[in-house]
A and B are shown apart, each in its own frame.
Chain A
Amino acid sequence: MGKQYETVIGLEVHVELATKTKIFCGCSTEFGGAPNTHACPVCTGMPGALPVLNRQVVEYALAVGLATNCAVNQYCKFDRKNYFYPDNPQNYQISQLYLPICHDGWIEIETAAGKKKVGIHEIHMEEDAGKLIHDEWEDCSLVDYNRSGVPLIEIVSEPDMRSAGEVIAYLEKLRLIIQYLGASDCRLQEGSMRADVNLSVREAGAKEFGTRTEMKNLNSFKAISRAIEGERIRQIERIEEGRKVIQETRRWDDNKEASYAMRSKEDAQDYRYFPDPDLMPVVISDEWIARVKARQPELRTEKLARYQSEYRLPQYDAEILTASKHLADIFEETVALCGRPKEVSNWLMTDAMRLLKEHGQEPEELGFAPQNLAKLVELVEQNVINRTVARGVFEAVFTENVDPLQYVEEKGLKVVSDEGQLRQVVEGILRENPQSVADYKAGKQKAMGFIVGQAMRAMKGKADPALVNALVKEMLLL
């Protein structure tokens, strides 16, 4: 390839909102549940049923819009998107086309190349569809409407991104903002955050955009990165071969690391959008915007600064802790109980992160109570257990959310500081290891460490390390 190409990427991100009930009826949004148990005449499209907008959906959409520097359409409307498919019980989806709730915003991302703003074209509210289940055994298709009517927002970016790195940085930033707002848990794997990638390439320096394709079915950051790379190469190859890129929707198969054409622009459906006459326009007052703004929780950037100033944490610690709203919440609640922010931070950054990795979990899945971590910190502080034992106790807190004090008592893990008992143990070790004693006396400092280690092991790690150290030193000198 002689020519240099630039990749141009825009994203359409669907986020499932964390409301308790659906967007247009009172059914629960809870995940799971037997098929069609979270369904009613409204979300199953029964004749004569009518939608009523869930106010909380507007609040969340507004909160996300304000946090992403969007302008608000204070008079916005819902439109019907008409298409036939069995997961769509009314055969139209209630969405927003003509007057979406938010538009023209931006967020700042940071990559190795530095900081950059990515524009947000619009944010609109809409309803999710049900789920089709193909029963191969019976050779029939069944529909589960539990998801039908679950509220979504779609965040459409400007085509401002130029690499997979920028896309991931954008998605991570967006995810953090939304999680911090409590508007969604944003889990890609479970589908509560879904991203479609619009991508085109053009010769470096060109003014016009190339023809773009849209890629769907991307359910992890890794898949997104791979899909972007795969599609970039595919488009460049076509251009180099003198062929044209066709405007089409493609489905990414992450196992095969290849994408397949789903439908071209020519097959694109005419959705016959028009304003939904069953819903009134949503009028958002200045006061409402002010209220949502006032309720806006501290976002990551502010938290990052505060952790360094208020808790005196190094920037590195602050970044790791605030990378997950849930982790940050646990940190703050624990510190509120036991103080010692650096100590709490160490537990979370090292032991918690290591265990998460071992269990293949995300920080959002941390399930222990801050009270228990606080107790653990206190037990160490008061020298009830030593650090070695404490790591084992933390693991029990992490996996089973145990009460550390009770656990330590039940397992007999308290520090042994009985000098008489320890003196006996050290005496025994010295007797069994005359060579080490001789080495030490010959000037090999290392030999002392060995003896201390042996003594700790004999005490199953529960001995007070300072006391053991002192005793070994004293007795070696005898």
Chain B
Amino acid sequence: MDILEMSAVELGRKIKAREIGALEAAEAALAQIRALEPVLNCYVAVDEEGARRQAAEVQKKIDGGMQCGPLAGVPMAVKDNMCLEGMPATCSSKILENFVPPYTAEAVKKLVEGGAVVLGKTNMDEFAMGSTTETSAFGVTKNPWDPERVPGGSSGGSCAAVAANECFYALGSDTGGSIRQPSSFCGVAGIKPTYGTVSRYGLIAYGSSLDQIGPIARSVGDCAAVLEEIAFHDAKDSTSVRRRDCDFTSALVDDVKGMRIGIPQDYLGEGLDDEVRSAVLAAAKALEEKGAVVEEFGLSLVEYAIPAYYVIASAEASSNLSRFDGVKYGYRAKGYEGLHGMYKKSRSEGFGEEVKRRIMLGSFVLSSGYYDAYYLKALRTKALVKQAFDKAFAGYDVILGPAAPSTAPRLGELLSDPLKMYLGDIYTIAANLAGLPAMSVPCGRDSKGLPIGLQLIGDCFKEKNIIRAGYAYECTRNYEMPGLAKRQAAEPGRWEVR
């Protein structure tokens, strides 16, 4: 089997057994990156030297018989809103173009300590605001299944890189679906853990009360293994939770007998693509055949989740992003007059359209006279959404539905219609509002050959339920890889689609 097509866990095992060299694995991934980046643009920065150096260090440890993590030596990628000491962290924004953090995000640090080989930083929607990776200041990322289409977003670079075998796994972040929706569009697996499971220290905030880092990989097994590495209590993040149940790989059991699975009718209604609906229902059937108890039910308040989400996320973002002012780091405009001139010009030139739209929206809903009507009401809605899920989880172990209403749209299609783009988050944002763990698992392709994602939502701290269901479903099918993900190394720049 080609190294590139191995799962992260399998590669880790072979590196540990010294059947494959860490450097060999890194070179394979770097060659794939060199070959495909001119087409896909998954990365905003690739650190070839750094990757080789880390690979050599890991190899030395393994050769010396030192204790290493299960993913030691496995090449991976990090979304560009996470800090990595000495490497630019841009959030795909011009305003942070020249920002090099002097510290590493805690989640990334855990992986690096465990021997991860970081290939580079992946492209994203600017400050994670968007669902297509088109709002990046550093160019659009293309979907490996069809470069005419978007990879989804905001973790589009991470998902596309995983799908195209440009890395073995990646970290993404999910505020309203930013791991699950692009995972669905790119045909890979991605988990947004329970809020508080992975430290946010070093993650450049978008909506602090909703943001969560999570793994993206080609299988549920790999996701569980990565999540196990990055989940820990961090005293530097006040919202970090002390958990004792982070042995996620123990849930990789092909057994769903008696598992109660609920499908919200609200997630199957108007606006959902027919082919997506059939694929999702077929996946539910497959789980039912394995012994799960599957039924439909009504999950109320779904239609209020989107407005509540956009009010809360934008409000927090308007405040979180105020530190980008050209004073301390990042972009400072030239030719301004006075302090306020500097603020205004730097921020006007440094931020993109979508970011400015959300900053204005967020500033508005927090302003005096509107706070109660918008922000407080959104917080109350958030509490009600959580209650609705609490009720649902009294009856079900897992909630099943689509991750997105459709498969990947063409480039530019959503960018021109922000409202349509916001509505695309309809199935994913409720999990963020309620702080729940949720994942997307590939469940076939539509007639255009584009991947479809199955979403599994669990109750708080019940990642193991969705991991078990996702794994059991995954066991019923083979992983599908886009044509261009086959090793392309022979002639850089030459590639084929399907």
Point out the residues of chain A lying under 8 angstroms from B200, CB to CB: 48, 50
Cα–Cα, bound, A80→B363 (Å): 13
Beta-carbon contact of A84 and B322 below 8 Å: yes
**A272 adjacent to B99 (CB under 8 Å):** no
Closest to A90 in B: B323
> CB of A89 within 8 A of chain B?
yes
Please give, as numbers and ranges, the residues of chain A lying within 8 Å of B237 by CB-CB distance.
Answer: 50, 52
Interface residues as binary, B84-117 with A (CB distance below 8 Å gives 1, 0 otherwise):
0000010100001001011101000000000000
* Complex Cα spacing A277 to B378, Å: 14
Q: Which residues of A contact B102 (CB under 8 A)?
A: 41, 46
B177-214 with Cβ < 8 A to chain A = 200-205, 207-209
Query: Apart from A46-B102, A51-B238, what are 18 other A-B pairs with CB-CB below 8 Å?
Result: A41-B103, A46-B329, A47-B204, A48-B101, A50-B238, A52-B237, A80-B319, A84-B340, A89-B327, A272-B363, A272-B371, A274-B315, A274-B316, A274-B366, A277-B207, A277-B209, A277-B316, A280-B238
Q: A272 with B236: in contact, given A47-B99, A48-B204, A50-B200 (CB under 8 Å)? A: no
Task: Determine whether A45 belongs to the interface, using a CB cutoff of 8 Å to chain B.
Answer: yes
Asked if B325 lies at the interface with its beta carbon under 8 angstroms from chain A, I say yes
Interface of chain B residues 319 through 338 with chain A (CB within 8 A): 319, 322-325, 327-329
Tell me the bound Cα distance from A88 to B322 in angstroms. 11
Closest 10 CB pairs of A and B: A91-B322, A277-B209, A272-B366, A277-B208, A47-B204, A48-B202, A45-B323, A48-B204, A90-B323, A270-B368
Q: Which of B288-317 contact A (CB under 8 A)?
A: 315-316
Contact in complex: B82, A53 (CB < 8 Å): no
Q: Can you name 13 A-B residue pairings with CB atoms under 8 Å?
A: A41-B103, A48-B201, A48-B204, A49-B202, A50-B237, A51-B238, A84-B322, A89-B323, A272-B366, A272-B371, A274-B366, A277-B207, A277-B316
Check: B239 CB closer than 8 A to any chain A CB: yes
A247: Cβ under 8 A from any B Cβ:
no
When distances are taken between beta carbons in the complex, the residues of chain A under 8 Å from B235 are 52
**Residues in B neighbouring A273, C-beta threshold 8 A:** 366, 371
Using CB atoms and an 8 Å cutoff, list the residues of chain B in contact with chain A: 82-83, 89, 91, 96, 99, 101-103, 105, 200-205, 207-209, 235-239, 315-316, 318-319, 322-325, 327-329, 339-340, 343, 363, 366-368, 371, 375
B201 with A50: CB separation less than 8 A: yes
Cβ contacts under 8 Å, A41 to chain B = 101-103
Specify the main secondary structure of chain B where it touches its partner. Answer: loop
A70 to chain B, nearest CB (A): 25
Asked if A92 meets B367 with Cβ closer than 8 Å, knowing A48-B83, A48-B203, A49-B201, the reply is: no
Measured in the bound complex, the distance between the Cα atoms of B103 and A49 in whole Å is 9
- Over the window 263-288 of chain A, the binary record of Cβ atoms lying under 8 Å from chain B Cβ atoms (1 yes, 0 no) is 00000001011100111100000000
CB-CB nearest in chain B for A46: B101
The count of chain A contact residues (Cβ–Cβ below 8 Å) is 28
Does A86 have its Cβ within 8 Å of any Cβ on chain B?
Answer: yes
Cβ-based interface call for A299 (8 A): no
Q: Is the CB of B371 within 8 A of A274?
A: yes
The minimal Cβ–Cβ distance linking A300 to chain B, given in whole angstroms, is: 37
Chain A residue with the shortest CB-CB distance to B368: A270
Any chain B CB within 8 A of the CB of A324?
A: no
With A47-B204, A50-B237, A280-B239 known to touch, is A92 a contact of B322 (CB < 8 Å)?
yes
Once A47-B89, A89-B328 are accepted as A-B contacts, the answer to whether A272 and B238 lie under 8 Å apart by CB is: no
Q: Are B208 and A278 in contact (CB under 8 A)?
A: yes
Q: Are B82 and A279 in contact (CB under 8 A)?
A: no
Name the distance in Å between A51's Cβ and chain B's nearest Cβ: 7
B400 to chain A: closest CB distance in Å? 29
B207 proximity list for chain A (CB < 8 A): 277
A86 touches B327 (CB 8 A): yes
| Set of chain B residues within 8 Å of A277, measured between Cβ atoms | 207-209, 239, 316
Asked if A143 is at the interface (CB within 8 A of a chain B CB), the reply is: yes
State in angstroms the CA–CA spacing of A403 and B472 once bound together.
83
Minimum distance in angstroms from A46 CB to a CB of chain B: 7
Complex Cα spacing A49 to B99, Å = 14
Interface set, chain A 25-59, CB cutoff 8 A to B: 41, 44-53
Distance A273 CA – B365 CA, assembled complex (angstroms): 11
Query: A47 contacts B209, CB within 8 Å?
Result: no
A-chain residues with CB within 8 Å of residue B368 when the two chains form the complex: 270, 272
Q: Pick the contact of A44: B238, B328, B340 (CB < 8 A).
A: B328
Tell me, in angstroms, the Cα distance from A279 to B368 when the chains sit together: 23
**Is the pair B319, A82 in contact by a Cβ cutoff of 8 Å?**
yes
Q: A48-B202, A274-B319, A280-B239 are in contact. Are A84 and B96 (CB under 8 A)?
A: no
Contact B236 A50 (CB under 8 A): yes
Contact check, A272 vs B367: say whether CB atoms are below 8 A apart: yes
* A280: nearest chain-B partner, CB-CB: B238
Q: Per a CB cutoff under 8 Å, which of B83, B204, B208, B325 touches A84?
A: B325
Q: Is the CB of B322 within 8 A of A82?
A: yes
With a CB–CB cut-off of 8 A, which chain A residues contact B366?
A: 82, 272-274
Chain B residue nearest in CB terms to A47: B204
A49 CB, min distance to chain B CBs, angstroms: 7
* A39: min CB distance to chain B, Å: 11
CB distance from B87 to the nearest CB of A (A): 13
Q: Which residues of B contact A46 (CB under 8 A)?
A: 101-103, 328-329
Closest to B312 in A: A277
- In the complex, which of the residues A47, A80, A274 has the most CB atoms of chain B within 10 Å of its own CB atom? A47
Q: Which residue of chain B has the shortest Cβ distance to A278 in the bound complex?
A: B208
Interface centre among A44, A49, A50, A53 (most CB of B within 10 A): A50
Q: How far is the CA of A31 from the CA of B123 in the complex (A)?
A: 43
Measured between alpha carbons, how far is A288 from B45 in the docked complex, in Å?
Answer: 50
**Binary contact readout A90-103 vs B (1 if CB under 8 angstroms, 0 otherwise):** 11100000000000
| Minimum C-beta distance from B443 to chain A (A) | 34
Residues from chain B with Cβ under 8 Å of A272 in the complex: 318-319, 363, 366-368, 371
Identify which of A47, A53, A270, A279 contacts B323 (C-beta below 8 A): A47
Question: With A and B bound together, what is the CA distance between A50 and B236 in angstroms?
Answer: 7
Contacts of B105 in A (CB 8 A): 48
* Residues of chain A within 8 A of B204, CB atoms compared: 47-48
> Given the complex, which residues of A lie within 8 Å of B99, measured CB to CB?
47
A239 to chain B, nearest CB (A): 30
Contacts of A86 in B (CB 8 A): 325, 327, 339
A residues 228-286 in Cβ contact with B at 8 Å: 270, 272-274, 277-280
A219 to chain B, nearest CB (A): 25
By a CB distance below 8 angstroms, the chain A residues around B371 are 272-274
Q: B323 near A91 (CB under 8 angstroms)?
A: yes
- Give the one of A44, A89, A91, A277 with max B CB within 10 A: A277
User: How many whole Å from A249's CB to the nearest CB in chain B?
Assistant: 18
Given contacts A48-B202, A48-B204, A272-B366, contact A278 B319 (CB under 8 A): no
Given the complex, which residues of B lie within 8 Å of A91, measured CB to CB? Answer: 322-323, 325
B96 pairs with A47, CB closer than 8 A: yes
With A and B bound together, what is the CA distance between A189 and B189 in angstroms? Answer: 61
Shortest Cβ gap from B488 to chain A (Å): 34
CA distance A277 to B200 in the complex (A): 12
CB-CB nearest in chain A for B329: A46
Contact with B along A142-160 (1 / 0, CB 8 A): 0100000000000000000
